[in-house]
Amino acid sequence: MVIVYYVNIFIFCGVCEGSSEGGSSGNVRVARGFDVNRMVAAEEATSSFCMDLAKYRGGNKRSLEDGRNDGVEGERGSNSRASDDDENGLARKKLRLSKEQSAFLEESFKEHNTLNPKQKHGLAKQLNLRPRQVEVWFQNRRARTKLKQTEVDCEYLKKCCETLTEENRKLHKELQELRALKSSTPFYMQSPATTLTMCPSCERVATATPPSTTAAKTAGTTSTSTPSPFPLSRSKFFPFSHTPTKAS
């Protein structure tokens, strides 16, 4: 029942497309204001039939999607399409991709997150979408991936920051204890000044001592027990790569 209605709409669209504009180049505005909206408005559940239907429609495959801009070399023209809609007074409407369509696109995104024209057209044909829709979907999908990665990175940096803050707090405390110890011990028992080093960050005398000395060990500040953040390489704190390589 539903399917029949859907098919009828498709046929109607095809006729409309062919008669009104009479060509593949000029029919964009008619078709775009049309396709999904009518379908969705007519009955929203039909979109999930899109793909399955395409299998069965056989010879009458040329939907309103096909033959708009695809198949033509310069199918870029997203801007002109938009303006065409506007000129026509038809506000853009949103298609909700069916689960099957989304899953299919998702699968192919896993394989390659960019598309060459052939892949784009192939996908569009398989999913009964316009190549432009496939292109847009991949653009948005890449954006989502990046956003998610950014969130993950942000979370990781936050954790790093917390760790460093805690480390810093411990070191300060340690320094205070050492200072207290130093002032409380007699002068002749104090370590030689050469065993004290300067912290490059806070520019204070820290407790870092040469490995051979025992001063740090007595204070419990071996480099293995409480590693200082200073000598850590950047790669340890930023193991992820932020530089997306542009696929050529």
- Where on the chain is the footprint of DNA (CB under 7 A)? 32, 36, 40, 44, 73-76, 78-79, 81-83, 85-86, 91-97, 102, 114-117, 132-133, 135-144, 146, 244, 246-248
Residue closer to DNA by CB (options 79, 183) is: 79
Residue closer to DNA by CB (options 22, 244) is: 244
CA trace torsion 159, 165, 171, 177 (10° rounding): -130
Residue closer to DNA by CB (options 101, 191) is: 101
Residue closer to DNA by CB (options 90, 199) is: 90
CB of 31 to DNA, least distance (A): 11
Nearest to 135, CA basis, from 91, 84, 75:
75
Q: Which amino acid is at 156?
A: Y
CB of 79 to DNA, least distance (A): 4
CB of 64 to DNA, least distance (A): 12
CB of 52 to DNA, least distance (A): 18
Residue closer to DNA by CB (options 8, 78) is: 78
Residue closer to DNA by CB (options 133, 209) is: 133
CB of 161 to DNA, least distance (A): 23
- Bridge partners (DSSP) listed for residue 74: none
CB of 55 to DNA, least distance (A): 21
